[in-house]
Amino acid sequence: MPTALRRWKTLLPLLAVLPGTAAAVEPLDTLSFSVGSYVNRFDTELRADGHHTGSGTTINLERDLGLNPDDLIAFARLSWRPFDRHEFGLSYYGDSVSADHRLTHDIEFEDELYQAEATAHAHFRLQSLEAYYTWWGISNDTWALGPRLGLTVYRVDLGLELTLDVNGNPVGGGSAEGRYRGDLPAPTLGAGWRWTPAKNWRISADAGMLSTTINRIDGTVSFARLGAEWHPWKHAGLTLEYNFTDVRASTEREHFTGHLDLRDSGLRLGLVLRR
């Protein structure tokens, strides 16, 4: 059983016996911290051209390299509203996976050629750090709405090393080895909405997109989040939400030229602490 799931099985019975009574939940919190598990699905394609633009092979990480990211990872999120209509937030999650895979077709990656029928060792790591600002232009007793500006930085690390040649013989270290490591900024402009339909329930939604060029990265980003919170305790509750992010970016930078398509979606179940 995954470690995160074991923690939830231990934590939920403890929450059930916490002292305190339900209080009317307001649309906006002054301070909120969420932590939990992310049942995710990644669909990632990457092309690393090396020194020749357009020369790399577009790689599907799951189909071509046998990389299957964990389906249950941890996440954390913090929001702070120091002034009545101004909210700031941070969120983070990360995942890593590695595999040995027999290639079904030739792959050119960072100026190295990996032939079909050879075996390569691949490792992939993804980290996501998001910062956002929301101005709650409309705010009353039961709902709030306002424009939202976000910036998510994805740190992507993909390494590929040949381990067996086409005849199944071991190869020496470094005979064919490539690596892409870089930070991908993904800004979005959209809106946030909060609604309290009942005493201890809150519905939230955020959405946005942006197509722009930043530091020789030409990208289009879209995201959406829909969640429901249940607060049976005064300062604690549970949240269930669905997240979707789609990033399509082409880069022409000194350390990396290529293209990245990243689709990240899934359900998050978490504990919310608020005031």
Closest C-alpha to 61, from 91, 99, 21, 24? 99
Q: What is the pTM of this model?
A: 0.83
> What is the pLDDT at residue 16?
43
Query: What is the arithmetic mean of pLDDT over 60-64?
Result: 90
| Mean pLDDT confidence for 157-176 | 84
Band the pLDDT of 15: cuts 50, 70, 90: very low
So what's the pLDDT on residue 36?
A: 95
Residue 12 has pLDDT above 50, yes or no: no
- Summarised one tens digit per residue, pLDDT across range 85-115 is 999 999 999 888 899 999 999 999 888 889 9
- pLDDT given for residue 17 in this prediction: 43
Q: Which band of pLDDT confidence, cut at 50, 70 and 90, is reported for residue 27?
A: very high
What's the pLDDT at 173? 64
pLDDT value for 4: 46
Pairing of strands 138-139, 257-274: unpaired
> By the 8 A CB rule, do 46 and 57 touch?
no
List, for residues 115-159, the tens digit of each pLDDT value.
Answer: 999 999 999 998 999 999 999 999 999 999 999 999 999 888 989
User: In the chain, pLDDT over 90 holds for what percent of residues?
Assistant: 53
pLDDT at 2 over 60: no
User: What residue spans define the domains of the chain?
Assistant: 3-274
- Give the range among 49-53, 189-193, 230-234, 248-252 with minimum mean pLDDT: 49-53
CATH number of 3-274: 2.40.128.90
Mean pLDDT (whole number) for 78-87: 97
Average pLDDT, the chain: 86
pLDDT above 50 (res 165): yes
pLDDT-based confidence at residue 182 (cuts at 50, 70, 90): confident
pLDDT on residue 146: 98
